Copies of this chain bind each other. A is one copy, B any other.
Amino acid sequence: MANSRFEYVRKYELDDSVLMNTWIVVRVDGRGFSRFVSEHHFEKPNDIRGIHAMNFAAAQVMKEFQADMTLAYGHSDEYSFVIHRSSSLFSRRSSKLVSTVVSCFASGFVFYWNRCFGADQPLLYPPVFDARVVCYPTDENLKDYLSWRQADCHINNLYNTCFWYLVQKGGRTNVEAEAELKTTVSADKNELLFSKFQVNYNNIEPIFRKGTILVGHAPDGEAKNSEHPVPVQARDSSNASEDSKSSLVHDVENEALNGFLADHKILKLHRDLISQDFWEQFGQTVLGKK
């Protein structure tokens, strides 16, 4: 049985390569994650175990792509991966890039789930992610893209922090909390947290406020991945013992993840990347000629 009679169908595949000498960003987004998060009883406003799983999956992608991928940034149910403008990986074919990144991410997320959630919470069904490719011609465009995502992280996390304090500690219903926050700006939200709950938003763990930056192939001189075995929320939870919800406290660091990152020379950071500081320190590593 020859397949030659049918092989003409190969010619129907169209080339979807992206423009050379541009930064390639592949952004992965969870699909139906509000349901996923609810069915897996994620803690609100942030579940550090879920963040660990996302970071583990992202680290697996970084390991897979190695030198071609210089930075990743994630928060909530999304992760953005930056492929260097000089890369010729998969001849820059869009479908190859997007499918490899997202399948590696999904595969890693499921694979490392137990290392992050332990016996607390088994994975109930396979999660789905979608992904897209966007190209940026200039370094400035790329930095603005990453700033856009981190600004989004900030806006969402400040809102969610307020919302869940109002609900979990302030006794509001979800509808009441939403109404209370409707017209507030950032300053109002900071004030609300401080005056009502004695919480200084800037003292909340950076991993929640800033998201996670992964830098590949960081020079040896760079700071190691920080390790602070302080339980999450401990600082702000003076009355943790009275609060059944906040007694579910998990380490803000995950040893297995940190080991994996160290093995593959990937640096994990939770800091501002909108200001120039980050780029002064890591610009050469992330953006420099390959």
B141 touches A21 (CB 8 A): yes
Q: Are B99 and A127 in contact (CB under 8 A)?
A: no
Give the distance to chain B from A198, nearest Cβ to Cβ, in Å. Answer: 23
Give the CA-CA distance A1 to B202 in the complex, in Å.
Answer: 14
Whole-angstrom CA separation of A47 from B170 in the bound complex? 57
Question: Of A9-17, A71-79, A234-242, which stretch is located at the interface?
Answer: A9-17
Which residues on B sit within 8 Å (CB–CB) of A130? 90, 95-96, 99-100, 103
Number of A residues with CB within 8 Å of any CB on chain B: 69
The interface bits of chain A over 88-129 (1 if a CB of B lies within 8 angstroms of the residue's CB, else 0) are 001000111011101111111111100000000001011111
Smallest Cβ-Cβ distance to A11: which chain B residue? B20
Tell whether A172 is near chain B: CB-to-CB under 8 Å.
Answer: no
Q: Counting CB contacts under 8 A, is A174 at the interface?
A: no
Q: Chain B nearest CB: distance from A246 CB in Å? A: 27
Task: Determine if A22 is an interface residue (Cβ-Cβ < 8 Å).
Answer: yes
* Inter-chain contact B132/A9, CB cutoff 8 Å: no
Binary contact track A12-36/B, C-beta < 8 Å → 1, others 0: 1111110111100000100100000
Interface residues of A (CB under 8 A from B): 1-3, 5-17, 19-22, 28, 31, 60, 64, 85, 90, 94-96, 98-100, 102-112, 123, 125-138, 141, 144-145, 147-148, 151-152, 154-155, 186, 274
A11-B20, A99-B132 given; 6 more Cβ-contact pairs under 8 Å: A3-B147, A3-B155, A6-B151, A12-B19, A94-B94, A104-B128
